[in-house]
Amino acid sequence: MPNLLTQDEYRSLASTLQCPTEAHINGALAPAASGKTFETINPATGKVLARIASCDQADLDRAVEGARAAFADGRWSQLHPTERKEIMIRFCERIAEHQHELAVLESLDSGKPVFDIETIDLPESIHCIQWHAETADKIYDQVAPSGNDAVGLVVREPIGVVGCVLPWNFPILMVAWKLGPALAAGNSVIVKPAEETSMTAIRLAELALDAGVPPGVFSVVTGLGETVGKAIGLHPGIDMVSFTGSTEVGRLFLKYSADSNLKKIVLECGGKNPCIVMDDAEDLDAVAEHATNAVFWNMGENCSSNSRLIVHEKVKAQLIERIIACVAKTWPTGRPLDPSNRLGAIVSKAQYERILHYIEIGKKEGASIVCGGNALEIDGGYYIEPTIFDKVTPEMTIAREEIFGPVLAVMSIASVDEAVTLANDTNYGLAASVFTSNVKTAHRMARAIQAGTVTVNCYGEGDMSTPFGGFKESGFGGRDNSIHAHDQYTELKTIWIDLSN
């Protein structure tokens, strides 16, 4: 457990921090070439936190030119894998040295509870980069079974220049998920953070440079999705894009690829994930804790949030009662820099209003609120109570559309088959959880549910050794995490050597 500061200490640190506001291109901070900026808002207060460089095509062109030059001259791509590993580990050490600073910046920018950033996001980010750094000199190429007259080598080579377009819900962690395998493979990387949460990505680029990552290898180009994001998708000098965000925007990147250089596209998109609780589930108190964490962690702003609770009619009332008690006991909502709070502010006014709109739709369509449902007035910020709807039916909007907020929709079932059918009745397929004491039921349901990750008797996403990504409209083209993440950042090459003459 990291050494948490007190609320007063976090607030004091926040008052003295210099907000990073400029892009970090080719090893140096720089304003946008146009001089334009955009506001980033502190969701905890609704007030302007800083003005960030609003980059455009000219800035991206400069970043791509530097990234391609770095890749071509081998300052990173041709380093011995062990050297890359050692620099990446030094980068992790720099992150750890600045952990409190990064946690406060992230909390101010995103509204996330500083407790979560210090205990989950930052430790996991460091672990992710370390894990992939260690693979750099441990992934072997292959020799094909080509007989005695030839040698067939199957080798991996870095793909080149990688564009990473990131979401606002886990700003630091999503940088790490992309950067770890991309750098370990030898690529140059250009990160476009979400406009709501740009500051920690800029600071990470400074720390990477300080650790020895060469200029041009890791740049951060800040700006709006319709300018920088689109430009990354269409740029002929970018060889691959890894995108995490909405399914709607993910579709655009497939079009951008088709309209440009057919760059490789990897998408990790939305989810409307089910948590299935059967009547033989053991220890409903423990189930309630997992189900509550699954939907309210990070204010529900989580693509793998289990926002649909599909529960057997025999235990539904008991489970709802326990979940409500768990919310009251262990999920206080309040100022993000108070480490005693588990729920902070919604990331933006637009997302805040979107969530409240869905709550109103749920009421109008006949679902029944049994917990929460209200906005909270705290310091002028964007806060919403943890909200639970009962009597939700499969056709209701709140059962079908991704809300991306602290809203749980409870539906009842009477059999395993009904539970699986309802779980799969969605365009998404990112994650799911199953709670049952019957091992056969657990295996059969886990196989039958159409999702990239299925957890049994727990909520989670696996760990760094397991791939994360989705089925259907939740994902396309690859996986984050695990050794499989390296596949999308490399090209396979066959080298055939004739020995017959």
Query: In angstroms, how far is the first alpha carbon of the chain from the final one?
Result: 63
Q: Please report where in the chains the tokens 């990446």 appear, as a residue.
A: 88
Beta strand spans in 360-444 (E) = 368-371, 375-376, 383-384, 387-390, 407-413, 428-429, 431-435
Q: Hey, is 447 helix, strand or coil?
A: helix
Instruction: Please give the Cα distance from 220 to 193 (Å, whole number).
Output: 7
For 312, the token pair is: 């057997």
Instruction: Please give the Cα distance from 217 to 75 (Å, whole number).
Output: 8
CB 293 within 8 A of CB 326: no
Residue 429, phi then psi, degrees to nearest 5: -165, 55
Alpha helix segments (H runs only) across 192-246? 199-211, 230-234
Among 173, 86, 106, CA closest to 344 = 106
How many CB atoms are closer than 10 A to CB 94? 17
Q: Hey, is 404 helix, strand or coil?
A: coil
- Beta bridge partners of residue 242, listed in sequence order: 164, 266
- Beta bridge partners of residue 218, listed in sequence order: 189
Catalytic residue numbers, as ranges? 268, 303
Instruction: Please give the Cα distance from 205 to 160 (Å, whole number).
Output: 19
CB 287 within 8 A of CB 319: yes
For 44, the token pair is: 């905890």
Instruction: Please give the Cα distance from 225 to 97 (Å, whole number).
Output: 32
CA-CA-CA-CA torsion sign (198, 199, 205, 208):
negative
CB 29 within 8 A of CB 61: no
Q: Enumerate residues 6+ apart whose C-beta is below 8 A from 397.
A: 358, 361, 362, 365
Instruction: Please give the Cα distance from 447 to 460 (Å, whole number).
Output: 17
For 488, the token pair is: 């999308």
CB 87 within 8 A of CB 185: no
Q: Please report where in the chains the tokens 């039921």 appear, as a residue.
A: 441
